[in-house]
């Protein structure tokens, strides 16, 4: 009986240690992406979210996103989609992009931690998340073209 109590105590301590460990951010490689708008060509360094796990986590739990960086969610084909801001602490601009690289819709200044759905407004191949205010700052608008290898040559 004493052995069982000791084993349970040891297991409980191990579980507490694991629970106390900080959540580690997943390291992503940064790739260049360009958006051609009326005000010029704007280059961003983006992390790709391709797997379901990467897409589910997205930018959750991050406390900052440097200007000029973002995350590109690639669905592999055009489809309607919706995002939310659950567990996302920073306001974002969500740029919904068609398979040909044209911007369909932009959801600006999304509300941190909101569980309200942010719909694409139609079928899209990808979504680019950047820090809130980016679209307005650079004059990025629906119809502008996004250049990245997932959209093929333009």
**pLDDT tens-digit readout, 49-85:** 999 999 999 999 999 999 999 999 999 999 999 999 9
Number of structural domains the chain divides into: 1
d(CA 95, CA 76): 16
- Whose tokens are 């105590």? That residue is 9
- For residue 20, is it within any domain? no
Confirm if 74 and 31 have CB atoms less than 8 A apart.
no
Higher confidence at residue 55 or residue 22?
A: 55
- For residue 107, is it within any domain? yes
Predicted confidence at residue 29, as pLDDT, reads 82
The yes-or-no verdict on residue 24 having pLDDT over 60 is: no
Under 8 Å CB-to-CB from 84, ≥6 apart: which residues? Answer: 114, 115, 116, 117, 118
Task: Report the candidate in 138, 143, 140 with the shortest Cα–Cα distance to residue 98.
Answer: 143
Predicted confidence at residue 154, as pLDDT, reads 60
0.85 surpassed by pTM: no
- For residue 42, is it within any domain? yes
- For residue 5, is it within any domain? no
If you ran DSSP here, which 8-state letter would residue 63 be given? S
pLDDT tens-digit profile of 108-147? 999 999 999 999 999 999 999 999 999 999 999 999 999 9
- For residue 3, is it within any domain? no
- For residue 6, is it within any domain? no
- For residue 15, is it within any domain? no
Encoding tokens for residue 38?
């009326």
If you ran DSSP here, which 8-state letter would residue 67 be given? T
- For residue 79, is it within any domain? yes
Predicted confidence at residue 134, as pLDDT, reads 98
d(CA 145, CA 40): 11
CATH of the domain at 137: 2.60.120.1140
Domain region containing 62: 26-151
């Amino acid at each position: 009986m004493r052995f069982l109590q000791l084993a349970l105590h040891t297991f409980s301590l191990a579980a507490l240690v694991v629970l106390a460990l900080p959540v580690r951010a997943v390291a992503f490689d940064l790739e260049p992406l360009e958006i051609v708008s009326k005000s010029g060509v704007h280059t961003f360094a983006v992390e790709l979210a391709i797997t379901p796990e990467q897409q589910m986590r997205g930018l959750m739990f991050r406390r900052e996103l440097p200007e000029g960086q973002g995350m590109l969610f690639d669905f592999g084909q055009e489809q309607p989609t919706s995002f939310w801001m659950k567990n996302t602490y920073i306001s974002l601009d969500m740029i919904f992009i068609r398979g040909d690289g044209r911007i369909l819709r932009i959801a600006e200044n999304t509300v941190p931690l909101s569980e309200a759905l942010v719909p694409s407004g139609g079928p899209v191949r990808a979504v680019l998340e950047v820090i809130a205010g980016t679209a307005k700052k650079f004059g990025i608008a629906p119809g502008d073209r996004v250049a990245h290898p997932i959209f093929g040559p333009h």
